[in-house]
A = this chain, B = another copy of it.
Amino acid sequence: MERGTSPVIEPGQIDREAGVATAQPSPCGELGWAINMVFRAFRQRASASLADLPGGPRGYLVLSAVAHDLPRSQLALAQQLAVDKTAMTYLLDALEAAGLVERRPDPADRRQRQIVLTSTGRSALAEFGERLAEAEQRLLSALAPEEAYAFRQFLDRVARSTKEVTEPCTVEEIPDPGVGLCP
């Protein structure tokens, strides 16, 4: 795997008129590449940490959303987490089968179902939250603590801005995310 065999072939007609920026180390520097790498790395670590949780990383997000908000309909949850409402059905099936959430009919609108956390679900959320916090810390270990803090804030602002057109997070709550290790 050493670069010894690295051939001497001329770059050919390539890279000649690079102009804009002198040849960089590959796609590093590409925003898309970085987002992709970080996303994949996080998902991999999170999946490992949350292997026992019915819905995996997505199941955790559902639990977290349900825990931190008032009871919400499935559709509201789906929109908030940017998953399809059909996928939300499967997710909730799994979570409910595991006894972590309950579907209650909404007395005001019997089409809707309110999703609430059970006590089992709450303790599961706490336990998996700790594991996840570890994984997050490892993921950001390349950054100094203050940098990691700033990074989280930036990421959060960008994330919110992508959906702010449709619906703000809770209306008045936009300014300072609790950041830190939330749950």
Interface, chain A (partner B; CB < 8 A): 1, 3, 5-7, 9, 11-15, 17-18, 20-21, 23-42, 46, 57, 60-61, 64-71, 80-82, 106-109, 114, 116-117, 119, 122, 126, 132, 136, 139-143, 147, 150-152, 154-163, 167, 169-171, 173, 177-180, 182-183
Residues on B with C-beta less than 8 A from A106 are 7
Q: Does the CB pair A116–B30 fall under 8 Å?
A: no
Shortest C-beta distance, A70 to chain B (Å), equals 6
Residues on B with C-beta less than 8 A from A160 are 28, 37, 142
Docked complex Cα distance between A11 and B41 (Å): 35
Residues on B with C-beta less than 8 A from A46 are 32
Complex A-B: 16 CB contacts under 8 Å: A1-B167, A14-B116, A25-B68, A25-B173, A26-B64, A26-B169, A27-B81, A31-B152, A32-B136, A34-B155, A39-B39, A41-B159, A139-B162, A142-B157, A143-B154, A151-B154
Shortest C-beta distance, A104 to chain B (Å), equals 8
Q: Does the CB pair A27–B71 fall under 8 Å?
A: no
Complex partner residue of A156 from B34, B117, B177, CB under 8 angstroms: B34
User: Looking across the interface, which residue of chain B has its beta carbon closest to that of A182?
Assistant: B29
Task: Say whether, besides A31-B152, A80-B26, A180-B21, A158 and B5 are in contact (CB < 8 Å).
Answer: no
User: Looking across the interface, which residue of chain B has its beta carbon closest to that of A14?
Assistant: B117
Task: Say whether, besides A37-B82, A61-B27, A61-B33, A70 and B11 are in contact (CB < 8 Å).
Answer: yes
